[in-house]
């Protein structure tokens, strides 16, 4: 057993879990961490996507009471049926556009200037969104969302196909700009992440199955466990944080990180291209 490889897998799992649900782009951080650790070959790219499943299990655990109540009420309660329908509607655009554009985006947009630009632009969008008056909020709880709200957030989520955007950032800030409260947008972002990230992980493992073998199981298991633990801690913290704080600190962090992308790319220290 390669203990150094397992240590790298654990560190990557921690990076994934801590960044997946914050509006700062887990993909960008995994690229940087993978490059610094020498963990950036073709198999590592499959690993990066697969360990998202560990982070999703953490969300399922945190929201288990809500999930269970929704499933129990699904046959008879309109609100439960609407929530499930909204998640499915929000998930659909990512499936369609991912299959149509995913390969082209990886081939042409995964370059330093794009990654840095989306980090920095996203930071300024967060600053703008947080300055909007509270009166612009019309949906205060996730159960109050309409199918049209879900479709709009699902379309915004597709912006995260561009590297450096952040899936959670796109859905949370996009939801806020569309009239959702910070809490409703965050909750829906977590619910929408469940089919989106599980689907991406399963699809990636199936598509790249020729690269993998039974010898890779300890590495993937380690990444999943550490992704789960760190995501569980992060999600619990974030839900407390948003009750009394804005996303402004994350905006400044994104702008600084965008500069890091440019500097590391210019210096040749990180290989940001696929």
Give CA–CA dist 231/223, Å, rounded.
12
The 10s digit of each residue's pLDDT in 111-137 is: 778 888 999 999 999 999 888 776 678
pLDDT-derived band of residue 274, with 50, 70 and 90 as boundaries? low
pTM, two decimals, is 0.88
Residue 40 pLDDT: 81
Residue 134 pLDDT: 65
Is pLDDT at 105 greater than 90 in this prediction? no
Average pLDDT, the chain: 90
Joined tokens for residue 205? 């493992």
Backbone angles phi, psi at 97, to 5 degrees: -70, -30
| Domain residue limits, the chain | 3-266
Give CA–CA dist 98/252, Å, rounded.
29
Is pLDDT at 180 greater than 80 in this prediction? yes
H-helix segments, 74-208: 78-108, 112-131, 147-157, 167-177, 182-207
Nearest in space to 7 (alpha carbons), one of 233, 226, 234, 205:
226
């Amino acid at each position: 057993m390669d203990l150094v490889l397992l240590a790298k897998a654990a560190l990557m799992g921690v990076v994934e879990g801590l960044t997946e649900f914050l509006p700062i782009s887990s993909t960008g951080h995994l690229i940087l961490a993978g490059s610094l650790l020498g963990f950036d070959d073709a198999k590592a790219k499959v690993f990066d996507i697969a360990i998202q499943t560990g982070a999703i299990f953490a969300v399922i655990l945190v929201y288990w009471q809500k999930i269970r109540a929704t499933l129990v009420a699904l046959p008879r309660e309109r609100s439960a049926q609407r929530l499930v329908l909204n998640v499915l509607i929000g998930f659909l655009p990512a499936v369609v556009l991912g299959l149509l554009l995913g390969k082209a985006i990886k081939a042409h947009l995964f370059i330093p200037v794009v990654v840095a630009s989306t980090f920095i632009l996203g930071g300024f969008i967060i600053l703008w969104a947080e300055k909007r008056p509270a009166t612009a909020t019309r949906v205060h709880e996730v159960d109050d969302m309409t199918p049209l709200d879900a479709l709009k957030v699902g379309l915004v989520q597709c912006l995260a196909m561009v590297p450096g955007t952040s899936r959670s950032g796109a859905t949370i800030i996009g939801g806020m700009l569309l009239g959702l409260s910070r809490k409703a947008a965050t909750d829906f972002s977590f619910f929408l992440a469940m089919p989106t990230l599980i689907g991406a992980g399963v699809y990636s493992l199936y598509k790249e199955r020729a690269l993998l073998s039974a010898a890779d199981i300890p590495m993937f298991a380690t990444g999943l466990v550490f992704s789960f633990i760190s995501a569980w801690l992060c999600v619990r913290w974030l839900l407390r944080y948003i009750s009394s704080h804005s996303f402004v600190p994350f905006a400044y962090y994104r702008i600084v990180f965008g500069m890091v992308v440019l500097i590391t790319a210019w210096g040749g220290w990180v290989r940001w291209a696929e």
